Chain A
Amino acid sequence: MRYLPQTKQSRKHMLAAVGVENIDALYKDIPADAFIKGLADLPLHQGELEVERTLSAYANQNHAAPQGSFFLGGGLYYHHIPATVDHIIQRSEFLTAYTPYQPEIAQGTLTAIFEFQTFIAQLTGQDVANASMYDGATATAEAALMALRINKTRHKICIGNALHPDYRAVLKSYMGNHEDTEVFDGLPDADTACVILQSPDFYGQPHGYESWRKICDETGALLVVVINEIISLGLLPAPESADIVCGEAQSIGIPMGFGGPHCGFFACRETYLRQMPGRLIGETVDEDGRRSFVLTLNTREQHIRREKATSNICTNQGLMALAFTIHMALLGEDGFKQLARLNHETACRLADALEKIPGVTLLNEHFFNEFTIKLSKNAKDVVKAMAERGIIAGYALDDNQLLLAATEMTTEKDIATLITALQEILL
């Protein structure tokens, strides 16, 4: 009961002040049959030591990436996080603050998120960005909803290339609520609200935007670009010509964490600002004329518009956006670009090594830090055999295809271990 400050004495005193005999008198409105008889059928309270012991044992049952030879990506990447990042996000003032509804006593969060918005806008080559979204998949679904709001008379969402399967699934679930809306693969037509283009795509192939921009302009569809390896924006050209750029910012400052929490991002052209989902931080001045930051354009949001809100979302991923911002600040322009190049060069070395193995074919013409290979054996079996040797080899696609990522974390030794094991397994 270490988290409860009340004492037997204080409880007695407070009940008397309220004017009731016992605590159950305060629950008198509740139907008697809704009460748990005695206690819930769950364990009793435990000390910090016991909880730590149990959960550490669970954690130890997992193969963690720092154990080495880790080549899994697929929209979520293993990168280094400077110690400063975790130190700062654990400061009480950031960790245990609420959404900055009282700007006079929340300038810390507000200023940091304004910097986050600036970073995202710069990286994506867009005019404006919001304060972050749940994750890349939901950000993509929100982009489609926004396109339908802008292109009010249109009913279709076009997926232009290999979109991450989870993003595709989430998009379909969201669109399933709108009976007249259709999600399809291919090229846009006159009824298409937007084209969704991922780069690098799920198989690791980077895409240019020019031809897609032209196709979109011809049909009046918006161009939505999805990025789920944000470090690629340090080497690949920015999707400046897109109308909306969204995706996942996990690679900077945020651990994989078995799938979350991560940091979805959302940027667009200024023209579409008022159709944007999510929170926005804006600059203003206080009564003394000093620069300050506030939540702004709130009238788009659910707590004011209710049925007419642009989205039902009311949180962002504040602390994750902060982690991203701190890591970006540490990297700076040179560091960010260097990190991107290191990722690419490591992936090049991995590709070179793999291509030398008989029974392995590289399927990508181009790549950033992830690519697909074809194996002479079933990929799922290979991944399983690798796992038994302590190697997380990548993501098994259909049949014989394997998706592998390399980052700045991947060492020459990791690559050598993978190659040796793969040669043995493919024999």
Chain B
Amino acid sequence: MIAEQKIEKTIINIAPQMNDGNHGLHYEENLLWEKERCDHSGVDLPKPDGTALRTGQSARGSIGLPQVSEPQVVRHFVRLSTWNYSIDHGFFPLGSCTMKHNPRLNEKMARLPGFAHVHPLQPESTVQGALRVMYELQNWLAELTRLPGVCLTPAAGAHGELAGMMTIRRAHEAKGQGHRKIVLVPDSAHGTNPATAVICGYTTKTIKTSETGRLTIDAFKEALGNGDDIAGMMVTNPNTCGLFESDIHEIARLLHEAGGYFYCDGANFNALVGKIRPGDFGVDVMHINLHKTFSTPHGGGGPGSGPICVTEELAPYMPVPVVVKNEDTFHLAYEDERPETLGRLRGFVGQFGMHVRALAYMMSHGADGLKQVSEDAVLNANYLLSQLKDVYHVPYKGTCMHECLLTDKIQKEKGVSTLDIAKALCEHGYHPMTTYFPLVLPGTMLIEPTETESKDAIDRFVIVMRSIAEDVAKGDTEKFHHYPVSTPRKRMNEVQAARHPKLRWKENS
């Protein structure tokens, strides 16, 4: 009788949703808070003595955190991980994001105890090796951009933009040109550019991209006007259409003549690295995305790292700290040694772990390898374009840089949009390209293969892209509106998510 009761109780205790939907290698997984509560922590810690508190406050009561054992935690996150696509899975042609191979050597180096477990406030004599990494990275970036002032502290690309634009602002103020408040931004720019300009207290003025996908001297002159109130210009080069701004030298000259500075968004540096130096085409300030060009992993959305490189003229104004070398020792220079600086933009010295990874990557490639990186990235994009240009609309004719731009113009006539093409790629085991960006044309698809893809990998992607185009051409379009169907989840109800935001787990909700 007692035994029977026990069994009955055990069955009742199994939550019905626990194994719902598992099949093959696909496992459903509930949230940590929905798991049966373990009576002990997944970490064995020494037992506290229970001495009297010296916090001046009473101890906190129940927080409502979940509690599970170590094996459950491992399984939970391993299962979740299997629902992600990653560059290690396959081709990841996300334009402007430079999803390239992430060497594991860089991970190993960043985890050396001498890098992972040091504190930036330690006496400098005890962290010379860490400062040396930063100093050498500054030198590599200065040489590759031909911009001698380098500050590594910005935490990501957008943060680098902010650092760069604030450097420009500071320089204008120092020169008595603080009335300059307008920043010129092409309509093809990343959304961060105008957002950054506004956060710097600037207003933006748009430069229109021509029908060739590039800036023209005339359009620039029109936006510039007499230039009296122009603080600078923010341009991505190569631009977001995957094209090099061929008139950039003349545009930079005119801008400088008018007293403005040229900010270059470094998102597309992968097309130039080791081959062309932005300082040689008139750039005054540029941020570098270490997580793009120099292959620090994207980590599902950060951490990134966005050092800035500036001309000698602007170097005194950039943020602190920067690493300097005094004879044989390395030293962090702060406000007291750099009185013209705009100040600090992040706590401590920046995303140092990313600096180690980027330096390991640069050392591995060397001057010769980095040049090959740029050439292979450009070749791969052009090869891909050559294999797709007869079945997809190519808005700007000719060759491209490290990424190519297509649109859905041909497929749209049959009711299949860029969104549908992207979701079809998910169905066929690919991460889609960047979609609906740049905004200069409707239905854009920006494809960046990067140099770490083989010809074979590109050919296989081409087969899928061509088969999509063929199906659409044949009128076999219905399935496209339902893709993907083989992924862990199908298309999302994004309207519901935005109308009734539910941003955390809550009991009984």
Q: Which stretch from B219-227, B346-354, B405-413, B468-476 is at the chain A interface? A: B346-354
Asked whether A1 is an interface residue with its Cβ less than 8 Å from the other chain, the reply is yes
Given the interface contacts A100-B300, A296-B498, does A95 sit within 8 Å of B102 by beta carbon? yes
Contact of B42 among A66, A102, A257, A332 (CB under 8 A): A332
Q: Which of B265-308 touch A at CB < 8 Å?
A: 274-277, 280-281, 295, 297-305
Say yes or no: A334 contacts B41, CB within 8 Å: yes
Say yes or no: A40 contacts B143, CB within 8 Å: yes
Asked whether B326 is an interface residue with its Cβ less than 8 Å from the other chain, the reply is no
Q: Mark B60-85, 1 if CB is under 8 A from A, else 0.
A: 10111111101001101110111111
Asked whether A119 is an interface residue with its Cβ less than 8 Å from the other chain, the reply is yes
Say yes or no: A315 contacts B451, CB within 8 Å: no
Say yes or no: B63 contacts A173, CB within 8 Å: no
Asked whether B383 is an interface residue with its Cβ less than 8 Å from the other chain, the reply is yes
Residue of B nearest to A111 (CB): B80
Say yes or no: B496 contacts A237, CB within 8 Å: no
CA distance A82 to B295 in the complex (A): 27
Q: Which stretch from A188-196, A215-223, A305-313, A415-423 is at the chain B interface? A: A305-313
CA distance A166 to B132 in the complex (A): 22
Asked whether B24 is an interface residue with its Cβ less than 8 Å from the other chain, the reply is no
Asked whether B364 is an interface residue with its Cβ less than 8 Å from the other chain, the reply is yes
Say yes or no: A387 contacts B41, CB within 8 Å: no
CA distance A128 to B506 in the complex (A): 11
Contact of A97 among B86, B244, B488 (CB under 8 A): B86
Say yes or no: A102 contacts B426, CB within 8 Å: yes
Say yes or no: A134 contacts B105, CB within 8 Å: no
Asked whether A160 is an interface residue with its Cβ less than 8 Å from the other chain, the reply is no
Q: Which of A353-404 touch B at CB < 8 Å?
A: 365-368, 383-384, 387, 392, 395
CA distance A259 to B352 in the complex (A): 6
Asked whether B345 is an interface residue with its Cβ less than 8 Å from the other chain, the reply is yes
Say yes or no: B493 contacts A286, CB within 8 Å: yes
Distance in Å: Cβ of B59 to nearest Cβ of chain A: 6
Say yes or no: A30 contacts B276, CB within 8 Å: yes
Residues of the B chain whose Cβ atoms lie less than 8 Å from the Cβ of A92? 86-89
Distance in Å: Cβ of B229 to nearest Cβ of chain A: 16
Say yes or no: B195 contacts A39, CB within 8 Å: no
Say yes or no: B196 contacts A367, CB within 8 Å: no
Residues of the B chain whose Cβ atoms lie less than 8 Å from the Cβ of A48? 105, 364
Q: Mark B329-352, 1 if CB is under 8 A from A, else 0.
A: 000000000000011111111111
Say yes or no: B368 contacts A384, CB within 8 Å: no
CA distance A259 to B45 in the complex (A): 26
Residue of B nearest to A83 (CB): B70
Asked whether A172 is an interface residue with its Cβ less than 8 Å from the other chain, the reply is yes
Residues of the A chain whose Cβ atoms lie less than 8 Å from the Cβ of B133? 55, 58
Distance in Å: Cβ of B103 to nearest Cβ of chain A: 6
Given the interface contacts A103-B492, A365-B56, does A319 sit within 8 Å of B299 by beta carbon? yes
Residues of the B chain whose Cβ atoms lie less than 8 Å from the Cβ of A13? 455
Given the interface contacts A3-B452, A13-B455, A93-B81, does A258 sit within 8 Å of B120 by beta carbon? yes
Residues of the B chain whose Cβ atoms lie less than 8 Å from the Cβ of A117? 503-504
Residue of A nearest to B382 (CB): A18
Say yes or no: B497 contacts A296, CB within 8 Å: yes
Contact of B45 among A19, A280, A285, A342 (CB under 8 A): A342
Q: Which of B86-127 touch A at CB < 8 Å?
A: 86-89, 92, 94, 97, 99, 101-103, 105, 107-123, 125-127
Sample of 12 more A-B contacts, CB < 8 Å, known A104-B484, A117-B504, A299-B498: A2-B364, A4-B369, A6-B379, A29-B246, A34-B277, A72-B119, A108-B84, A134-B303, A173-B344, A257-B353, A298-B498, A318-B302
Q: Mark A181-204, 1 if CB is under 8 A from B, else 0.
A: 000000000000000000000000
Q: Which of A331-365 touch B at CB < 8 Å?
A: 331-339, 341-342, 344-345, 348, 351, 365
Given the interface contacts A36-B274, A94-B84, A261-B303, does A1 sit within 8 Å of B194 by beta carbon? no
Asked whether A303 is an interface residue with its Cβ less than 8 Å from the other chain, the reply is yes
Asked whether A425 is an interface residue with its Cβ less than 8 Å from the other chain, the reply is no
Say yes or no: A315 contacts B302, CB within 8 Å: yes
Residues of the B chain whose Cβ atoms lie less than 8 Å from the Cβ of A105? 83-85, 426, 431, 484, 487-488
CA distance A406 to B471 in the complex (A): 65
Residues of the A chain whose Cβ atoms lie less than 8 Å from the Cβ of B360? 51, 55
Say yes or no: B155 contacts A342, CB within 8 Å: no
Q: Which stretch from B6-14, B47-55, B254-262 is at the chain A interface? A: B47-55
Say yes or no: A72 contacts B121, CB within 8 Å: yes
